[in-house]
Amino acid sequence: MKLFTRHLSEDDELIAGCIAGKRDMQRRLYDKYAARMMAVCLRYSKTSFEAEDVLQEGFVKVFGNIQNFKRDCPVEFWIRKIMVNTALKQHRQKMHVSSVAEVEQVEKHPEEEFIFSNYAFEELLDMVQQLAPRYQLVFNLYAIEGYSHKEIAAQLDISEGTSKSQYSRARAILKEMIERKEKKYNERIIR
């Protein structure tokens, strides 16, 4: 009679090792996901130093709560959610910025799509980091993380209308930045 054994995936082994408190497994999990999570943290931060703080605090939470990971999604998604929540917490703690006026009825503009594919990640990241903190948060949560305006409103303790207006304003500002960059580029070519 042949016994079948289930082979653990690399992530399953890493998770088991982290739960057991094995430092080498924690290091391997960190090494596997740190670069991708740093990209997430950078989108929510104004500087790389802030992003590193979020990353560090996020991984402390990952290792402190890994025994609670239910394996109902890939571990990368779970870690990403922790990083986003850590960034949001950091913003809540340091932001006493007056909120943008509540707008219950957002002006409906035709969805003008502007092209991001012509820009390197670093250029796009720089533009997003130039947004006001609330615009940056709402833009990242809606456009990149896929949260609904209702979920964003609950996370940031704002109204759904405010989330929509801040997203709309962030898009408009990013569009202006892109148009200015393209105008400068075109002016250089003409010369």
Read off the pLDDT of residues 113-136 as tens digits, 9 standing for 90 and up.
Answer: 444 555 677 888 888 989 998 899
Q: What is the DSSP string of 113-128?
A: ----TTS-HHHHHHHH
- Quick one: pLDDT band at residue 104, thresholds 50, 70, 90? very low
The reported pLDDT for the residue numbered 102 is: 36
Query: Could you give all domains of the chain from N- to C-terminal order, each with its CATH number?
Result: 7-99 (1.10.1740.10), 102-190 (1.10.10.10)
pLDDT for residue 108 is more than 70: no
The reported pLDDT for the residue numbered 185 is: 75
pLDDT for residue 62 is more than 50: yes
The reported pLDDT for the residue numbered 109 is: 40
What pTM was computed for the model? 0.67
CB atoms within 10 A of CB 115: 8
| Cα atoms found within 13 Å of the Cα of residue 110, Cβ hemisphere only | 3
The reported pLDDT for the residue numbered 111 is: 41
User: In the numeric block, which tokens belong to residue 92?
Assistant: 């809540």
pLDDT for residue 158 is more than 50: yes
The reported pLDDT for the residue numbered 124 is: 82
Mean pLDDT in residue range 69-83: 93
Contact indicator for 75, 9 with CB cutoff of 8 Å: no
Share of the chain above pLDDT 70, in %: 82
More confident residue, 98 or 65: 65
Alpha-carbon span 42 to 83, nearest angstrom: 10
Closest CA to 17 of 3, 31, 4: 31
Contact indicator for 99, 158 with CB cutoff of 8 Å: yes
The reported pLDDT for the residue numbered 1 is: 47
Burial class (CB in 10 A: 0-12, 13-18, 19+), 61: middle
